[in-house]
Chains A and B, each alone.
Chain A
Amino acid sequence: MLSPDSARRAEAAGYTNVRIFHEGMPAWKKAGNLVVSEPESLKEFIGKDISHVLVDLRPAKQAAAGHIQGAFSVPAESLASAKERFPADKSAPIILYGEGIPAEAFRTVRGWGYKDTTLLNGGIASWQKIGGLLLQGEMPSSIVYVWKPRPGEVLIEDFKNYVEKKDPGVLILDVRDKDEAMNGMLRGAINIPASEIQDRAKELPKDKLIVTHCVTGIRAESAYEDLKELGFKNIKFLNAVIQIDKDGKYEITKK
């Protein structure tokens, strides 16, 4: 648990008015509240070809005069009637940008059930600030979205095969904390908490495929990034919810 730990440290550093929003991001999103994303993340989505839907809410002419790569043009005033053009997959990350803070557009799209809708913080201006380029010309108005795994994401079926077949060429790396792992681990897996990966990477073989997992995929991906940075070439991570009992029996659910 990250936030209670940070709160403790803040109090230790002398802060006297510390609170914990313990339900955190999942509860915030579930209640339909405004979520903002940063241009750095959009840049990574575009650079790594991570599936997303980018929507330019400005008037069509203005958008055509300078927009972000891959954006679809859906002017804010016609958004309400554009519902049918949005993808069938409600888990698609939808990033909106327009003039100022288009909170109304956010609520509309979020209201259609797209739980990963965000507003690009600062819009076009913040995009340009991080060196993002603007494109000119006609933009597609029909939205295309095809889900692809994130870079390094292992398919759930493949992960199950790795666990069941006990392939000697594959190492399952459990990056949960020790006390979580004590309550049950996958057979054959080894445990190195995500926070210790950088210090303990030398314990890991370089000649095997390493597949990381945690509980939801968040720490598994961060361990994946750490290992990649440390020069490991053959790594994947499980980007799904996994529960493991004492006997090593497990259940994986897609996020």
Chain B
Amino acid sequence: MRHRKISSLSVSLLVMVMLVASAGQAAAAKPTVGGTCKQCHQPQANVIRGTLVGISNQFKTIQVAVGSLVWVVKFGDGIAVTGAEKLETIPKDKEIGVTFTGDEKNPYAVGVSVKPPAKIAPEKLARVEDVQKLVAAGPEKGDFVIVDSRPRPRYLEGHIPFAVSLPNDKFDQAKDAVLPKDKGRLIIFYCAGVT
């Protein structure tokens, strides 16, 4: 009996601890970073990062989708916009960051920044003309390797001349057999743009 009492007491203690913990989580539960924004941004208490759902000029609110949740943030005429001419020109579904004051129940937007384009550094980009020149010179003279990252059947169906096949999902297993020994050689990767 004594044992049972102790154990039931410890169970109720445990439940209390869990309740407190989950209450604490619930207070901080509204996520501020969603979707692709998570790849580069850590959560911040006063910045909401997500995609633009819409702007209501009538109610003076910005709606931002963060994952499956939508924040509705009030704004005033003094709102600072970076990366776009004005609020109205930001396209829907664009990744934005909204800096706000107040708490999450009554957030007030002080600034909106629009995600800048191009994730790839310009010096790393090859253009059609660059690849044309290399192909015309040939791999011997041009000293390059062109790598097709698409699934192998797509490569077999049609690829850039001299390109070798190294599907992205087989990269780690097959890289040693396909990529050159010389780590300084020019390697150009391509795929189908968006698939």
- Given contacts A3-B168, A9-B175, whether A19 and B119 have CB atoms under 8 Å apart is no
Q: Which of B68-98 contact A (CB under 8 A)?
A: 68, 93
A14 to B147 alpha-carbon distance, docked (Å): 16
Number of interface residues of A (CB under 8 A): 52
A179 to B191 alpha-carbon distance, docked (Å): 19
A182 to B127 alpha-carbon distance, docked (Å): 31
Chain B: CB-nearest residue to A13: B175
Is residue B139 within 8 Å, beta carbon to beta carbon, of the partner chain? Answer: no
Q: Which of B51-68 contact A (CB under 8 A)?
A: 51, 53, 65, 67-68
Q: Which of A72-125 contact B (CB under 8 A)?
A: 93, 116, 118
Number of interface residues of B (CB under 8 A): 56
- Given contacts A20-B190, A33-B132, A218-B195, whether A116 and B158 have CB atoms under 8 Å apart is yes
A19 to B123 alpha-carbon distance, docked (Å): 8
Q: Do most interface residues of chain B lie in helix, strand or loop, or is the interface mixed?
A: mixed
Contact A27 B128, beta carbon cutoff 8 Å = yes
Q: What is the minimal beta-carbon distance from B39 to any residue of chain A, in angstroms?
A: 8
Is residue A51 within 8 Å, beta carbon to beta carbon, of the partner chain? Answer: no
Q: Which of B167-191 contact A (CB under 8 A)?
A: 167-169, 171-172, 175, 179, 183-191
Contact A36 B189, beta carbon cutoff 8 Å = no
Is residue B15 within 8 Å, beta carbon to beta carbon, of the partner chain? Answer: no
**Among the listed A2, A118, A179, which residue makes an inter-chain contact with B35, where contact means beta carbons less than 8 Å apart?**
A179
Q: What is the minimal beta-carbon distance from B176 to any residue of chain A, in angstroms?
A: 9
> B129-154, CB under 8 A of A: which get 1 and which 0?
01110010000000000110111011
Is residue B124 within 8 Å, beta carbon to beta carbon, of the partner chain? Answer: yes
> A211-224, CB under 8 A of B: which get 1 and which 0?
00011101101100
Contact B187 A40, beta carbon cutoff 8 Å = no
Is residue A229 within 8 Å, beta carbon to beta carbon, of the partner chain? Answer: no
Inter-chain contacts of A37 with B (CB < 8 A): 156-159
- Given contacts A15-B187, A28-B160, whether A21 and B126 have CB atoms under 8 Å apart is yes
Is residue B6 within 8 Å, beta carbon to beta carbon, of the partner chain? Answer: no
Inter-chain contacts of B125 with A (CB < 8 A): 19-22
Is residue B192 within 8 Å, beta carbon to beta carbon, of the partner chain? Answer: yes
A118 to B169 alpha-carbon distance, docked (Å): 25
Inter-chain contacts of B186 with A (CB < 8 A): 17, 19
Is residue A41 within 8 Å, beta carbon to beta carbon, of the partner chain? Answer: yes
Is residue B102 within 8 Å, beta carbon to beta carbon, of the partner chain? Answer: no
A16 to B182 alpha-carbon distance, docked (Å): 10
Closest 4 CB pairs of A and B: A41-B156, A21-B190, A2-B168, A2-B191
* Between-chain CB contacts (< 8 Å), 16 pairs: A5-B168, A6-B171, A19-B130, A21-B127, A21-B146, A23-B127, A25-B193, A33-B128, A33-B132, A35-B159, A36-B161, A38-B156, A38-B159, A41-B153, A183-B35, A246-B53
**Given A3-B189, A4-B120; 10 other pairs, CB 8 A cutoff:** A3-B190, A5-B168, A13-B183, A14-B183, A18-B189, A25-B154, A25-B192, A41-B156, A44-B156, A225-B153
